[in-house]
A = this chain, B = another copy of it.
Amino acid sequence: MKKIVILGSTGSIGTSTLDIVSKFPGKFEVIGLTAGTNVDKLEEQVRTFSPAMVAMSDAVAAQQLRAQCQGLRTKVVSGAAGLVETATMPAADLVISAIVGGAGLLPTLAAIKAGKSIALANKEPMVMAGRLMQDEARKAHVRIFPVDSEHSALFQSMEGHRAVDIRRLILTASGGPLWNMTTEQMKDVTPEQALQHPNWKMGPKITIDSATLMNKGLEVVEARWLFDIPASQIEVLIHRESIIHSLVEYSDRSVIAQLGLPDMRTPIAYAMNYPERVPLDLPSLNLAEIGQLNFCEPDHERFPCLRLGYEALKTGGTMPAVLNAANEVAVQAFLNRKIGFLSIAATIRRTMDAHVSAEILTLEDALQADTWARGYATKIIEVLSTPSAVVH
């Protein structure tokens, strides 16, 4: 039995992971879970899976959970220290990193340092401190298995082939819910519209990132570090149907790709069971029924966030962490109706312009850049959201 810890167990990836655990009794034992504030859902998970330890980042929520779980064998801890304690449980074989956003960096890095294999769904830590994460993984002889559908596709398309023969990584992007809009039309997009993803059911943060194409910008950075491939060899291809999840081109011009109907359970299960696969009772891909797959180049004019991802990677150092932090703040402000859709990119652009990149040698370097960028982006948003200064 593989002993697993799930960081972010009440989110979309976390619940899908537990769904897989339930479907394969005897394969996995859930020993640790963490969540932010969703007490009731975590309580339900505690009752079903009886983990030895759970952590809530919010101390008040943890207190409430403790009350609701009285008499159960599960230890409830809280705060950053609690997350790290759960992420590094000595018995854990595999840590599923599925916290949303930069908050995942601290516990994920702690798990790596503790020698745990990682199934990485939380792309932001890799964006913020990719080189550091990989350095620590090498030191601890830890493997990081991607869970993001695109990176899982790249990973699966590399298995059995020599890394030295890789010529290009091609990340596919659906283009998101606003793909056909003009910039003018995007001005007045509401959170409800931007949350209508055509192919994937995901959490709100990543769905907005899909609408701005920042998700793809972050994925380029993630791919750069996950696979140690320079940005110049990473391309993005718009593929509306999200059937080809990504592709790898080799030196002989042979391209290997991974395809499937959009369902996160496939990449989650692959990362959990690697190098084995488990039979999942999901509908099969039927290309004859789908009939047609479409492809085109991304439009960097209407979707400037993708280019910001490449720019941050080119500048390097703390810049990707700044990109990520400004994006998180801006997306939250958009969801809270404080700024318009176009102001997401504008906020990130201005924050990046104001930042002088420095090297990341330690976790603190990354966290400091993150904190600075959150502060700066928040200030920009305050200006943008005062009625007299609405800039879309």
Contact = CB atoms under 8 A, between A and B. Distances in A.
Nearest to A166: B277
Interface stretch (A123-131, A209-217, A221-229, A247-255): A247-255
Nearest to A157: B256
Give the size category of A's interface with B.
Answer: 35 or more
Query: Which of A168, A282, A292, A293 has most B Cβ within 10 Å?
Result: A293
A272 B90 CA distance: 48
Contacts of A266: 252-254
Given A237-B287, A287-B295, A295-B290, A156 B276 contact: no
Contacts of A158: 160
A158 to B, nearest CB: 8
Contacts of A257: 244, 256-259
Nearest to A298: B288
Contacts of A283: 253
B162 A161 contact: no
Q: How many copies does the complex hold?
A: 2
Contact of A277 (B165, B247, B288): B165
A263 interface: yes
A284 B248 CA distance: 12
A91 interface: no
Query: Which of A252, A263, A269, A294 has most B Cβ within 10 Å?
Result: A252
Given A288-B238, A294-B292, A295-B288, A254 B249 contact: no
Q: List the 5 closest pairs (A to B, CB-CB), nearest first.
A: A160-B160, A159-B160, A251-B279, A287-B295, A255-B259
Interface of A: 156-162, 165, 167-168, 170, 237-239, 244, 247, 249-261, 263, 266, 269-270, 275-280, 282-285, 287-288, 290-297
